[in-house]
Amino acid sequence: ESSLLHLCEFIEDCEFTMLSTQILHLLGELGPSTSAPARYIRFVYNRVILENSAVRAAAVTALAKFAAQCPSLRTSIMTLLKRSLNDEDDETRDRAAMCVKVIEEAMAKNPYVPPPEDAEPEEIPEDKPVEDDTAAFVLLEGLPMSFDKLERSLKAYIATPASMASADPVTVDALPIVEDTAADIAAASGIDMGMDVDVALGVVPAEEKKEIVDPAADVYAIPELAALGRAFRSSKPVQLTESETEYVVQCVKHIFPKHVVLQ
Per-residue confidence (pLDDT) for residue 214, from 0 to 100: 72
Percent of the chain with pLDDT over 70: 84
| Percent of the residues in the chain that have a pLDDT greater than 90, as a whole number | 27
Instruction: Give every CB contact of residue 258 below 8 A, 6+ residues apart in sequence.
Output: 228
The confidence band for 195, taking pLDDT boundaries of 50, 70 and 90, is low
What is the chain's mean pLDDT, rounded? Answer: 81
- Residue predicted with more confidence, 229 or 249: 249
Distances (CA, A) of 107 to 67, 77, 81: 10, 12, 14
Question: What pLDDT, on the 0 to 100 scale, is given for residue 205?
Answer: 54
193 has pLDDT over 80: no
Spatial contact of 260 and 253, defined as CB atoms under 8 Å apart: yes
Closest to 62 (Cα-Cα) out of 246, 51, 125, 126: 51
What is the C-alpha separation between 101 and 94, in angstroms, rounded? 11
18 pLDDT higher than 80: yes
pTM passes above 0.75: no
224 — pLDDT class (breaks 50, 70, 90): confident
- C-alpha 101/C-alpha 108 separation (Å) is 11
The residue among 130 and 198 whose pLDDT is bigger is 130
Question: pLDDT-derived band of residue 202, with 50, 70 and 90 as boundaries?
Answer: low
- Check residues 86 and 194 and name the one with the higher pLDDT: 86
Q: Note the pLDDT of residue 79.
A: 92
Q: Is the pLDDT of residue 185 over 60?
A: no
Per-residue confidence at 111, pLDDT binned at 50, 70, 90? confident
Query: 195 or 76, which is more confident?
Result: 76
Q: Looking at mean pLDDT, say which of 39-48, 144-153, 180-189, 191-200 comes out highest.
A: 39-48
Average pLDDT value for residue range 67-86: 91
